[in-house]
């Protein structure tokens, strides 16, 4: 990252799940840590998320998903990121993800997964550490 440039984070909720408490709390924590947060809100398709990341030149993509649809949706997002030539943007995921799926998603390229009870300060620090 360039010196003096604000970190730009995309925070999106893919799929149909509307529980946005975690996404909003993290968005706010990132803002308070001096980041620019592109907040797209709920019900985002993989295509919308990837296009947004592309147009907004973000440094990190944060996805929050609690519906259980993560194994269908997240790999699709990773695939589209690669196709769009922005597979280098780190993706982090928050939500209820069973341990087996955590391993599989990491194997496919997700940088980190934060389950229930994660500290937002830790997530913020993690974002800083990878940008």
Q: Which residues bind other proteins (CB under 8 A)?
A: 2, 4-6, 15-21, 24-25, 27-45, 47-48, 51-52, 54-57, 67-73, 76, 84-86, 96, 98-99, 115-117, 119-121
* Least CB distance to other proteins at residue 82 (A): 13
* Least CB distance to other proteins at residue 111 (A): 20
Distances (CA, A) of 42 to 63, 88, 103, 109, 122: 10, 24, 25, 23, 23
Q: How far apart are the first and last CA of the chain?
A: 6
Is 76:46 a contact under the CB 8 Å cutoff?
yes
CA–CA separation, 1 and 7 (whole Å): 8
* Least CB distance to other proteins at residue 65 (A): 9
Residue closer to other proteins, measured from CB, 101 or 109:
101
Residue closer to other proteins, measured from CB, 48 or 130:
48
């Amino acid at each position: 990252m360039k010196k003096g440039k604000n970190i730009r984070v995309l925070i999106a909720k893919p799929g149909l799940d509307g529980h946005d408490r975690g996404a909003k709390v993290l968005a706010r924590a990132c803002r308070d840590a001096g980041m620019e947060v592109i907040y797209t809100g709920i019900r985002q398709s993989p295509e919308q998320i990837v296009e947004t990341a592309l147009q907004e030149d973000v440094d990190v993509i944060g996805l929050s998903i609690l519906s259980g649809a993560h194994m269908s949706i997240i790999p699709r997002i990773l695939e589209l990121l690669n196709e769009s030539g922005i597979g280098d943007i780190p993706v982090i995921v928050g939500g209820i993800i069973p341990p087996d799926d955590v391993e599989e998603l990491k194997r496919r390229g997700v940088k980190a997964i934060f389950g229930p009870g994660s500290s937002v300060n830790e997530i913020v620090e993690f974002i800083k550490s990878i940008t």
